[in-house]
Amino acid sequence: MLIVREGTADDNPRLARLRTIWAAEQEPSDIEDPDFEKEFLQWAKANPRQVLVAEQDGELIGMLNVMVFHRMPKPGKAESCWVYFGNVYVLPRHRNMGIGKQLVQAAIEFSRSIGAVRIVLSPSSESRRIYERLGFKPAEELSLMEF
């Protein structure tokens, strides 16, 4: 049975494993990094955020990272927040079954529950259609500087 839920610190070693599989899929190579899990756990502790996970029969098969940004209040306007969705990933053998969609829908509901005023993401070319079907549209107001 598939469960989409909020991730916990106990999930971090399994999230590190998903990230390793994803990285190998993006850049296939024989890179061995025996310290990656330790590095990932340190990163997760130092960079708190909301992670949603898809779990099936005790195995994490998907994830979505939600970073919440709190806007500075200004006179006459209360503080608000917006969120960024990133690191959306589903194991290859579980794709095209609606799991990514369920993760995104859960993240949208989480964003609404905290009163976010917008969601921002940077979709891959493969994922643009799913986001469009869920109501996302291209943003023209953002700027980017790459280093």
pLDDT category at 30 given cuts 50, 70, 90 is: low
75-128 confidence digits (pLDDT tens): 988 889 999 999 999 999 999 999 999 999 999 999 999 999 999 999 988 889
Per-residue pLDDT, averaged over 30-44, amounts to: 89
Please state, as a whole number, how many other Cβ atoms lie within 10 Å of the Cβ of residue 89.
22
Closest CA to 103 of 61, 64, 132: 64
- 101-102-107 Cα angle (round to 5): 95
**Domain boundaries along the sequence of the chain:** 2-133
CA atoms within 13 A on the CB side of 135: 5
3-state secondary structure of 130: helix
Helices H / strands E in the chain, number of each = 4, 5
The helix/strand/coil state of 39 is helix
User: pLDDT confidence of 56, banded at 50, 70, 90?
Assistant: very high
pLDDT band at 9 (very low <50, low <70, confident <90, very high): very high
Fold assignment, 2-133 = Aminopeptidase (3.40.630)
The pTM score is 0.89
